[in-house]
Homo-oligomer: A and B are copies of this chain.
Amino acid sequence: MAKITAVIDIGSNSARMAVFKKTSRFGFYLLREEKSKVRISEGAYENGGNLQDFAIERAIKALKEFLLIAKSLKVRKILAVATSAVRDAPNKSEFLARVRKELGINIKVIDGDKEAFFGGVAAANLLYEKNGVTIDIGGGSTELALIKKKQIQQTISLKLGTVRLKELYFDKGDIEGAKKHVRKEIKRLDEAFKQNKVFGIGGTIRALSQVIMKRIEYPLDILHGFTYDTKEHIKFLKSLIKMKDEELLKIGVKPERLDVIRPGVLIFTELLDFLEAKQVITSGVGVREGVFLTDLLRHDNYKFPENFNPSVRTIIDVYQINTKLSSYETKIALELFDLLKDEFELDEKYKLHLTYAIKLSRAGELIDFYEAHKHTDYILLNSLHYGFRHCDRLLMSKIIRFYKRKKIKKREIEKYKCLLPQKNIIEKLCNIFWVAKLVNINLSMPEVTIKKEKNCIIIEGENLYLAKERSKTRELFFELIIKEKGIE
């Protein structure tokens, strides 16, 4: 696959382009995203669904400049799709031909099932949960994809859109009518879609997650992966349907969303009720990422390899992290973990956090060596987007942030307490992390034996001079004795 790929997506309201750069076989990051308010469907409704000249003109101009961006970024492959607005237009072939002729772009008009599939591929591969159902609420339609073991089982496109409902009902104040319409359409859903977990895709659901994050004073400013329990917020969400503009603005709805948020909430809450969903997992990714991944993973059954995390891979690639060193340090850390877990009452699950913390710990050195632990913390909180729960990501980053210290101050993690384990658990993981790094302080991956005798960890091997010296500079939760082989 080309190293740099652009995905163009023409929706009813705007055209967008996302440019992805591959860093290795499956590593990638978003290089750029741009959008233009093309409103391709403007005037179409009154004209038998036909795309109008002025709208086509806008699309051509926007696409032309998208191509300039692609050229500047050395894009090698362009994947362009169009969804409901173009799909439903009787004169779409005219538009498609013009774009092909004038710009050389082949736009693929995708049906609702395909659209649902792309959203599903993005959610299944880039969120932490393997099972659930995606909901992607758009202006003209709403797509669902049923995911089991990261595999898409079933898809459907409902004729429910925010703009559609707004024009047909909300503008006339007929909320009851809208509700009836929605419920009728939802009946088309197969029972199999009823799932505990919902992956929420698209602007409406993201906006609602933001409102909830503000409401509960969520400590992280990260949308992708933000998870909430339906039963805690469904009542509040439903109350938005009848809120006035000022109230909506007050709770954090952006002005440009005001006109479609109410119908959006109606569709969303009705779906949540029908699906009997217990949790909503917010997705920052959608159709564009799905198109990219579908291409990237076309020989891999549209799935990353088992236990592969694309963000981890990308960080390792981008910051050129030496994985030999980190594998060695991980081995030491897990050995220590096994020796200490009973005494420290450490749950096995924390091995995951230790492993990734070590894997990524050197990323921050590129920003500044002396304070690398702070910078890695920063990078993890801001780059490690895919495949982790917020709580996992936060724990990894805080192990790195605090590993040099014996004590973490309460106020330093107070605001994260809903997401982190108890302070003393973090401190103990920090201890293990520190010792694993210490043993490899000279980067020679020394062969060592590690034993535990009572409350004492004894590490023996060659080339441990610096490690031994440094070991005396800090207090740990256990006694640490480092012995240089053959030297008393």
Q: Which residues of A contact B (CB under 8 A)?
A: 29-34, 36-37, 61-62, 64-66, 68-69, 71-73, 318, 322, 325, 365-371, 374-375, 378-379, 382-383, 385, 441-444, 463, 465-466, 469
State how many angstroms separate the Cβ of A476 from the closest Cβ of chain B: 18
Jot down 17 A-B pairs with beta carbons below 8 A, ordered by A: A29-B369, A33-B370, A34-B442, A36-B465, A36-B466, A36-B469, A62-B469, A69-B442, A69-B444, A72-B325, A72-B442, A367-B382, A367-B383, A368-B383, A368-B385, A375-B382, A378-B378
Select A368's contact among B37, B65, B366, B382, beta carbons within 8 Å. Answer: B382
Asked if residues B383 and A65 are in contact (CB atoms below 8 Å), the reply is: no
Complex: A367 Cα to B30 Cα, angstroms: 10
Complex: A385 Cα to B68 Cα, angstroms: 35
Select A365's contact among B31, B66, B71, B374, beta carbons within 8 Å. Answer: B31
Q: A31-B369, A369-B30 are in contact. Are A444 and B379 (CB under 8 A)?
A: no
> Contacts of A382 on B, CB cut-off 8 Å?
367-368, 371, 374-375
Select A61's contact among B64, B65, B71, B465, beta carbons within 8 Å. Answer: B465
Which residue of chain B lies nearest to A466 when distances are taken between CB atoms in the complex?
B65
Complex: A465 Cα to B38 Cα, angstroms: 11
**Considering residues A318, A385, A463, A469, which has the most beta carbons from chain B within 10 angstroms of its beta carbon?**
A469
Going nearest first, the 8 A-B pairs with the smallest beta carbon separation are A72-B443, A68-B444, A65-B442, A61-B465, A68-B442, A65-B466, A30-B369, A368-B382
State how many angstroms separate the Cβ of A472 from the closest Cβ of chain B: 10
Q: A318-B366, A367-B383, A379-B367 are in contact. Are A465 and B65 (CB under 8 A)?
A: yes
> Contacts of A369 on B, CB cut-off 8 Å?
29-33
Which residue of chain B lies nearest to A487 when distances are taken between CB atoms in the complex?
B61
Select A68's contact among B29, B66, B71, B463, beta carbons within 8 Å. Answer: B463
Which residue of chain B lies nearest to A63 when distances are taken between CB atoms in the complex?
B465
> Contacts of A469 on B, CB cut-off 8 Å?
36-37, 62
Asked if residues A65 and B463 are in contact (CB atoms below 8 Å), the reply is: yes
Complex: A368 Cα to B32 Cα, angstroms: 10
Asked if residues B34 and A466 are in contact (CB atoms below 8 Å), the reply is: yes
> Contacts of A65 on B, CB cut-off 8 Å?
441-442, 444, 463, 465-466
> Contacts of A466 on B, CB cut-off 8 Å?
34, 36, 62, 65
> 4 more A-B contacts (CB under 8 A) besides A36-B466, A72-B325?
A29-B366, A32-B369, A34-B466, A62-B465
State how many angstroms separate the Cβ of A26 from the closest Cβ of chain B: 18
> Contacts of A61 on B, CB cut-off 8 Å?
465
> Contacts of A383 on B, CB cut-off 8 Å?
367-368
State how many angstroms separate the Cβ of A204 from the closest Cβ of chain B: 18
Complex: A442 Cα to B34 Cα, angstroms: 9
Complex: A69 Cα to B369 Cα, angstroms: 15
> Contacts of A463 on B, CB cut-off 8 Å?
64-65, 68
Complex: A71 Cα to B442 Cα, angstroms: 10
Complex: A61 Cα to B487 Cα, angstroms: 12
> Contacts of A32 on B, CB cut-off 8 Å?
365, 369
> Contacts of A62 on B, CB cut-off 8 Å?
465-466, 469
**Considering residues A61, A367, A383, which has the most beta carbons from chain B within 10 angstroms of its beta carbon?**
A367
> Contacts of A31 on B, CB cut-off 8 Å?
365, 369
State how many angstroms separate the Cβ of A16 from the closest Cβ of chain B: 12
> Contacts of A37 on B, CB cut-off 8 Å?
469
> Contacts of A371 on B, CB cut-off 8 Å?
382
State how many angstroms separate the Cβ of A61 from the closest Cβ of chain B: 4
Complex: A61 Cα to B462 Cα, angstroms: 11
Asked if residues B64 and A465 are in contact (CB atoms below 8 Å), the reply is: yes
